[in-house]
Chain A
């Protein structure tokens, strides 16, 4: 496998990078497309419905048809919107969601992804850029629903980033590295961190759900209260961007949970990428399952929960872990 990080940049090396980047983009787009299909099917079954079954065999082409429909729709910009920001917002939200995927070690040999020493930190840093896109989208639409949705999102995501960040520090303390691949290797030698860091894992999943704006923390998109939240005014292609962002993050966060707590690509017998796929799918299934089960939490309770419960527990977990690591 090409090791482009330590070798000097050449023409062929650059070409390899571009091809690799495009390949992984295509792969992720495929995964995300079927993630949406998967969600609709799972929730359909849980709700005693059939789910999509018209387009293609078993409705397999449904998501593709949906994306195509969105792509050929008219790109509407509201008259009173802040035009440049309105056009820019989906891109600001979308680009970081793909960038974080470059940091996830999908397999042992780390194909086409960057093996940086500060992978975890970079993930958290990049993912918070998305909030900017959402706030801008809500603001630039010049619509009350969008504005409220955007404000709610910003408050929620900023609040939940803190417990999310704290919950992973336990893992970092145990490994002594921010490199995601090193974390996986350390787990394959000893034990999956879900066992010593069970509290961290639970906080990570809860804060992750809130970070993803998913049920029961889907306030920013509360259909019944604000129609669609920050992307109310968006249509067609730009709406698809926001939609994709959400699902890419579902995949990315589950991939991160797998890497940090579930032993990443490590596992016996099967090839490493299959292990990775199994563990990530289990996480994703959990997120969809929650969506079919839970009502939505209220705004003030959401904030109270983050500041009064999650952060103190995460802090306590951090102190205990630090104590153990010291011994």
Chain B
């Protein structure tokens, strides 16, 4: 009897596909339902931010960073201004530092919330995606009040922040904290115990600590393997060393751990916001900064803990008011590199669960 002839099939997922979270293309070779090869094709959203930055003054680059990881623009803003401040060795007023921490951690919560919603949507549950927008809306409203924008905030400035908190704003943040705590519990009740959800995410997309480090993963992807690495703790920047919070770790490095860490990190971010709101005092929001910012000639790198991992800005300056070269270490792009390894050998029905848990934002992948 001759053996049944089978052949491999090439399936093109994306760039316009409901589950790729943007314009991401994945060329998958499948043998039946098993994935033999997966080739991510990126660049559909490439805008050349790094090149554009070479012709812009440092302050002018800030709005461009908004468009990288558009779910956590505040953190992107900070990454750039922090790098420049580090290069200039600037003194930042206390109030500005606190405001920065508050908006960044709120933004981290908003970003993680959207991950939870979108991930469940990937797995076929529609409702959580629509629920999370309610809480995210509260955060977005807070941001609108403080900087006038909903998505692209352009809030940070070199040496401080652009706007002071309007009257009553801090009180609203205070009220938001217990509200959000309760909502996190609600999501936990709704999602974390669902049998179907657990069956799909537990034990899928596993990578070891060693693999994670070899692939230079950072953020939740790295912490899900149990590796204790959070730049807010390990290389404290800003005033993070003043706050009391835990770095939450996973154990197995599977999709469930990554989902679970997003939930836990939201609680930790709330803790930071809570302390920052209490500790904030009056004062200036913008320090003494020269009118025209010239970074002394040299090379500078400053990395911060973004919503998706280590977000680094590398500046090469020749002493002018524009960078000679600006390199952004975009965590989504780096984290994406492990995808191929994770997908090979998996069943086709795990593809979306694995891709979703790596948590990429295409604006950041493509730069």
CB proximity of A91 to chain B, nearest CB, Å? 28
Most-contacted residue by chain A among B11, B194, B348, B349 (CB, 10 A) = B349
Residues of chain B with a CB closer than 8 A to A48's CB = 130-131, 134
- Measured CA separation A219–B351 after assembly (Å): 13
Instruction: Report the interface size class on chain A.
Output: 20 to 34
With A144-B9, A225-B351 in contact, do A297 and B127 touch (Cβ < 8 Å)?
no
Contact of A301 among B9, B124, B125, B199 (CB under 8 A): B199
A293 touches B130 (CB 8 A): no
Number of interface residues, chain B, beta carbon within 8 A: 29
**Which chain B residues in 314-367 approach chain A with CB under 8 Å?**
347-353
When the two chains form the complex, which single residue of B124, B199, B348 contacts A218, counting CB atoms closer than 8 Å? B124
A295 at the B interface (CB under 8 A): yes
- Which of A216, A291, A292, A299 contacts B349 (CB under 8 A)? A299
Inter-chain contact B196/A296, CB cutoff 8 Å: yes
Q: Is B77 an interface residue (CB 8 A)?
A: no
Min CB gap B351→A, angstroms: 7
- Give a binary string over A295-316; 1 marks a CB under 8 Å from any B CB, 0 the rest: 1111111000000000000000
B10 to chain A, nearest CB (A): 8
Q: Which residues of A contact B18 (CB under 8 A)?
A: 223-224, 227
State which residues 126-144 of B face A: CB under 8 Å: 126-127, 130-131, 134
Interface mask (B42-74 → A, CB under 8 Å = 1, otherwise 0): 000000000000000000000000000000000
A216 contact set on B, CB distance < 8 A:
124, 196
CB <8 Å contact, B124 and A295: yes
Q: Which of B70-127 contact A (CB under 8 A)?
A: 120-127
Contact, CB under 8 Å: A296 / B127: no
Chain B CB within 8 A of A3 CB: no
Across the interface, A293 reaches (CB within 8 A) one of B9, B121, B125, namely: B125
Which B residues are CB-close (under 8 A) to A293?
A: 125, 127
Among the listed A43, A295, A298, A301, which residue makes an inter-chain contact with B120, where contact means beta carbons less than 8 Å apart?
A295
Contact between B123 and A295 (Cβ–Cβ < 8 Å)?
A: yes
Give the CA-CA distance A48 to B117 in the complex, in Å. Answer: 14
Contact assessment for B124 and A215 in the assembled complex, using a CB-CB cutoff below 8 Å: yes
Instruction: Specify which chain A residues have a CB less than 8 angstroms from the CB of B125 in the assembled complex.
Output: 293-296
Task: Answer yes or no: A49 CB below 8 A from chain B CBs.
Answer: yes
Q: Please determine whether B196 and A295 come into contact, CB atoms closer than 8 angstroms.
A: yes
Q: How far is the CA of A216 from the CA of B126 in the complex (A)?
A: 11
Q: Does B17 contact A (CB under 8 A)?
A: yes
Contact A299 B33 (CB under 8 A): yes
CB <8 Å contact, B196 and A225: no
Rounded to whole angstroms, the CA-CA distance of A201 and B9 in the bound complex is 41
A223 to chain B, nearest CB (A): 5
Closest 8 CB pairs of A and B: A296-B124, A224-B19, A295-B125, A295-B123, A47-B130, A299-B349, A295-B124, A298-B349
| 28 residue pairs A–B, Cβ–Cβ below 8 Å | A47-B127, A144-B11, A145-B11, A148-B11, A215-B124, A216-B196, A219-B349, A222-B124, A222-B349, A224-B18, A227-B18, A292-B126, A294-B124, A295-B120, A295-B123, A295-B124, A295-B125, A295-B194, A296-B123, A296-B124, A296-B200, A297-B196, A297-B200, A298-B199, A298-B347, A298-B349, A299-B348, A301-B199
Q: Which B residues contact A (CB, under 8 angstroms)?
A: 9, 11, 17-19, 33, 120-127, 130-131, 134, 194, 196-197, 199-200, 347-353
